[in-house]
Amino acid sequence: MAPHGDGSDAAEEAAVVEAEKRPISTIVILIAMQTEALPLVDRFQLIEDRESLFPKGVPWVRYHGTYKHLNVNLIWPGKDPSFGVDSVGTISASLVTYASIQALQPDLIINAGTAGGFKAKGASISDVFLASEVAFHDRRIPIPVFDLYGVGLRQAFSTPNLVRELSLKVGKLSTGDSLDMSQQDEASIIANDATIKDMEGAAVAYVADILKVPAIFVKAVTDIVDGDKPTAEEFLQNLAAVTAALDQTVSQVVEFLSRKCLSDL
């Protein structure tokens, strides 16, 4: 181990700065649901891997292709082998994020998907947000320091120029493994000052942070959590239309990335 003060920290920081000045080459788009993923697969004419990069037996699916000079990889966790539904939630998200980074070494991760929004924080159906920070709302560990670990607050990669060019809304994202919201979850979400809630973002952020890969979070609102309609009903009712809004915005993000370095975002 290098001793403190020998310049190793400065060298590491310089390497990071230099990396951020290089054009973005490889991106990974992580999307939990097939309905959300397929419009982007079609738009960018991505091809499904026939020989998976991932361990044998996992349901994860990689679509890949090239847009301008970008290597675009869209990863969908696939259908649960036992239940045949999309593998949503934090466990699948963290596993797929780790495996994707190991296999593809991306310059940037985009976690895209739908989310619930809070009208009290200015969210409306079909709004698309870029998350400024992400945290968990269902990991309650009421022990000093463990409580902070449970919340797991992390900053998303800063993209002021992207926000400005695409006129994106910005808000804090709170993540949990349930579609509905219990009273305890609600209290935690309020404490997180969240505008939107999902089931994957903070898990992606956790892995990306450990492996030092920049990550951004693009979330489109399907349901108003503090509204008067049942969450599941409103989610299903709006999913198709909101997925179209998500597709358009993520496409604009990819176009923007094709012209920029990380330091220009």
Q: Which residue type does 181 have? A: M
Q: Which amino acid is at 204?
A: V
SS3 label, residue 77: coil
The residue annotated as part of the active site, out of 36, 86, 200, 247, is: 36
Q: How many CA atoms lie within 13 A of 30 on its CB side?
A: 33
Whether the CB-CB separation of 63 and 46 falls below 8 Å is answered with: yes
198 classed as catalytic: no
C-beta of residue 195 within 8 angstroms of C-beta of residue 225: no
d(CA 107, CA 261): 10
- 28 φ, ψ (degrees, to nearest 5): -120, 125
* Residue tagged active-site, from 198, 200, 223, 247: 223
Spatial distance between the Cα atoms of 115 and 112, rounded to a whole number of angstroms? 10
36 classed as catalytic: yes
**Active site (catalytic) residues:** 36, 223
